[in-house]
Each structure stands twice: as structure tokens, then as C-alpha cells.
Amino acid sequence: MKKVAVIMGSTSDSSVVQAACDQLKEFGIPHTTHVLSAHRTPAAAARFAQTARDNGYGVIICAAGMAAHLAGTFAGNTILPVIGIPLKGGVMDGMDALLATVQMPSGIPVATVAINGAKNAAILAAQILAVEDQDLAKALNAQRAEMAQNIDNANAKLRMIGQQ
Ligand code: RP5
């Protein structure tokens, strides 16, 4: 299976990004984690992106806050799908990162998840890889079935206490 690269702009992002790594691990998806900044280490970030496809990666997840140019910088340097996670923080509490990540110019897309949406970034990466991987597709379907079962259980409880 292709690897997923999980990139964060700063070590201060790691607690949020961990949810993506946990979800990838749960699906058994090989992944590596890196701190690379579009602003503080622009050359290293560009190098990583330019060589990622040849290095066995299939999807890149980029998490950054504030002036969040990381995902866009990666997207401009690779044709691999790039998923951006805008992070909460700064004076605009993540809205700045959301707009910086999602508002890409035509031709260079970044698939942007919600502010701090690390788990969804990992699930979306899994869905991309599952196009060519039956086991991963099964794991994704099982996760969906479990979510539906949890809702059924919640409704059964509400019925039991006479609220339905
Ligand atoms: C962004 O600036 C990082 O992704 C981080 O979310 C934010 C603040 O970084 P630090 O100043 O905490 O390193 O580039």
C-alpha cells in the first residue's frame, strides 16, 4: 500500500495532528510524520513534496495554523492529492488558517477538512487509497457500520427511557 505523509507546520501542532496518525494506524495505513514549514523551512518542504511520489507516498496531509500556506505549498510541488487541516489558534481562532488552506487558485487543489479536522483528514486519505485496496474499503465500511450502530443504540436507549 502507498504511504501517507503527515506534515505539520510546527511541533505546537502535534496534539491535534495526533488524531490523524491514530486513525491511520487504526486502518493499518503506513505513514510517516514530519515537521516542515512553508515559511521557516521552505526549501525542505518543497523538496519533500517534489520527491514524495517517488518515495512511495500516495497522499499527503498538511496541518498548519495562522497564515497556513503549508498545504498549498505542497500542492504546488506535487500531483499527489493533498489534504489540508486548518488549525485553530491565533487571533482569528482558525478562520485565517481555514481560508488560507481552502482558497486555492484554480488548477492547484487542496482538499480541505474542518478546522482541527485531523480524523477526517485521515479518513479521506484512507478513502483515496481504498479506491485500489479492497481491505481498506472493508475497514472503511466497517467504520461506517459501527457509527450507524452507535446511533441505533442511542435511539434504543431513548426509547427505553420513554423519550421516543
Ligand atoms: C504555523 O504557525 C504552524 O502550523 C502553527 O500552527 C502556527 C504557530 O507556530 P509556532 O509559532 O507555535 O511554532 O506555521
Q: What is the pLDDT of residue 27?
A: 98
Positions in the chain whose pLDDT score sits under 50 = none
Question: C-alpha angle 109/7/40, rounded to 5°?
Answer: 95
Task: Let me know whether 67 and 42 are in one domain.
Answer: yes
Task: Let me know whether 125 and 99 are in one domain.
Answer: yes
Q: What is the pLDDT of residue 108?
A: 98
Which residue segment(s) compose the domain that 155 sits in? 134-164
Q: Which of 6, 8, 11, 12 to mutate to test the pocket of ligand 1 (most atoms within 8 A of CB)?
A: 12
Q: What is the pLDDT of residue 107?
A: 98
Please report which helix (H) or strand (E) contains residue 33, including its range.
Answer: strand 31-35
Q: Are 83 and 58 in contact (CB under 8 A)?
A: no
Q: Report how many domains make up the chain.
A: 2
Task: Let me know whether 62 and 15 are in one domain.
Answer: yes
Supply the residue whose CA is at minimum distance from atom 2 of ligand 1: 65
Distance 10 CA to ligand 1 centre (A): 5
Ligand 1 pocket residues where CB is under 6 Å? 9-10, 12-13, 37, 64-66, 87, 89
Q: What pTM did the predictor assign? A: 0.97
Q: What is the pLDDT of residue 60?
A: 99
Q: Which of 6, 11, 13 to mutate to test the pocket of ligand 1 (most atoms within 8 A of CB)?
A: 13
Q: Give the pLDDT confidence of 49-95 residue by residue, as tens digits.
A: 999 999 999 999 999 999 999 999 999 999 999 999 999 999 999 99
Task: Let me know whether 75 and 150 are in one domain.
Answer: no
Domain with 90 in it: what CATH number? 3.40.50.1970
Q: What is the pLDDT of residue 135?
A: 98
